[in-house]
Structure 1
Amino acid sequence: MVTREEMLAEVVERELAMFLEVRNRGGRADCQEQPEAFRLMRRMTHAVLSDAFAESYLEDLRRGEADGRNFMTEKYAVMEGQIPPFNPDPRIRDISRSECAWRDAIAAAYPLVVEADGGDAFRRYLFAELQTYSAATIGAYADCVATAHREDRNLAGERYELLMRELGFGSLAEREAAMRKAGSAGARG
């Protein structure tokens, strides 16, 4: 039986393979030269979602590869307006609204760690990414969002907490406090 960690690792590796194949207008993007950063960010993104989501999305990725699709190319094409949104599932807007509200709350609480003005870029990115998901995967994601609301959880906050631990900063609160201290020390200097 495959463990959750193995499943998430396969998801991230399949995404990375697609990401590395994206052809940008100006050549390879700088972020394509940083696969470890990609792995970290994608692991953080998926780690707070359910096994049902991971299983469904992994199946999407496998099926997409078999069909010759590159979800990353599709996502960036939607983001850049090269192709119109192609997935009409109404749950995409609901998921996006919740995730963006959570992100905005975290940016308000930790303004030095999470840039408040990054919300629009996040909104476009998430909406474009959700375009590539199957109905089953969107349903699993919507279930995660509904569960988080019922449990009064903030999925964006959970992602940032994971990221801070991975980067060795302890927690969002610890990182924010350290940045405040460094900023006030610099202001006195």
Structure 2
Amino acid sequence: MEKEKIIEEILEKEWKYFSNLNNIGGRADCQDNREDFIIMRKSQWETFNEETLISYLEDLNSKNNPLFQKYAQMMKYNSPEEYEKIKDILEKASEKKNDLVNKIMFIYMEWEKEFFERYPIFSSMGRPLYSSEDDDIETSIETYLRGELLSYSEKTLKLYLNYVIDNKEKNINLAIKNMDNLARMQGFNDSNDVEEYYKNFSKN
């Protein structure tokens, strides 16, 4: 399967899961906004290698709903009281899985920090950086990333960790690549273009 086809299949399955999730406060507006969902997720998946994408597609085809696991894991930080009510039905992450997640996060959060430092205007339009900034309205990049990674299988995490390490050694920042993709999908050239546009916009 070529990469684009794999991503399309992932997006279709994720959207089906996401749009049917039961939200605590009732159905969220974003669950009816397919266009934004596709843009956000596609910009991320395009930074992955084919091997990891195929493994994640297998995760989506398993009995477990990875998107339920993902958002439920986030609640540990942004809705702790609600998390207590559902934690017993969540998959218990093994020591190995937590170790893989922590290793990926260590590298990825450094990349995110670099993005915030290089693009203060663009970064200010999205999520805050750290879990310490979470509340019942805003979910940080750190919390979102941990929830996302915990929803992957150990096989997918191993493949992704190898890919992340490989990119780090090549001095490629996948967080910035993700945001470059997002910028292009919204009509800009890259993150630099977004930053310059809004810098000039604020002067006028």
Q: TM-score, normalised by structure 1?
A: 0.90
**What is the distance in 2 between the residues matched to 1:11 and 1:156?**
20
Equivalence for 1:71: 66
Shift of 1:10: 0.5
In the alignment, structure 1 residue 112 sits paired with structure 2 residue 130: no
In the alignment, structure 1 residue 174 sits paired with structure 2 residue 193: yes
Q: TM-score, normalised by structure 2?
A: 0.84
CA offsets 1:8-55 (integer angstroms, 9 cap, x no match): 110111111111111011111111111111111111111111111001
Alpha-carbon RMSD: 1.5
Q: Residues 154 and 17 from structure 1, CA distance in 2 versus in 1: closer, same or farther, beyond 3 angstroms?
A: same
Q: How many residues end up aligned between the 2 structures?
A: 180
Select which of 109, 112, 115 maps to 1:103.
112
Q: Residues 23 and 166 from structure 1, CA distance in 2 versus in 1: closer, same or farther, beyond 3 angstroms?
A: same
**What is the distance in 1 between the residues matched to 2:16 and 2:23?**
15
Q: How does 1:1-189 map to 2 (within 5 A)?
A: 2-63=1-62, 67=63, 69-81=64-76, 82=83, 83=87, 86-88=92-94, 89=97, 90-115=99-124, 118-120=128-130, 121-185=140-204
Q: Is the deviation greater in 44-53 or in 82-91?
A: 82-91
CA offsets 1:133-187 (integer angstroms, 9 cap, x no match): 11110011101111111100000000111111111111111111111111111xx
Does the 8 Å CA contact 1:78/1:85 hold for their aligned counterparts?
Answer: no
Q: Secondary structure at the match of 2:128?
A: helix
Q: Is the deviation greater in 174-183 or in 79-88?
A: 79-88
Percent of paired sites with the same residue: 27
Shift of 1:86: 2.5
**What is the distance in 1 between the residues matched to 2:193 and 2:39?**
20
Shift of 1:131: 1.1
Q: Residues 135 and 117 from structure 1, CA distance in 2 versus in 1: closer, same or farther, beyond 3 angstroms?
A: closer
**What is the distance in 2 between the residues matched to 1:170 and 1:54?**
25
**What is the distance in 1 between the residues matched to 2:160 and 2:37?**
21
**What is the distance in 1 between the residues matched to 2:120 and 2:201?**
14
Q: Residues 117 and 79 from structure 1, CA distance in 2 versus in 1: closer, same or farther, beyond 3 angstroms?
A: closer
Shift of 1:117: 6.5
Q: Residues 131 and 36 from structure 1, CA distance in 2 versus in 1: closer, same or farther, beyond 3 angstroms?
A: same
**What is the distance in 2 between the residues matched to 1:133 and 1:117?**
22
Does the 8 Å CA contact 1:87/1:132 hold for their aligned counterparts?
Answer: no
Does the 8 Å CA contact 2:11/2:41 hold for their aligned counterparts?
Answer: yes
Does the 8 Å CA contact 2:69/2:91 hold for their aligned counterparts?
Answer: no
Give the counterpart letter for 2:113 in structure 1. Answer: D
Does the 8 Å CA contact 2:180/2:190 hold for their aligned counterparts?
Answer: yes
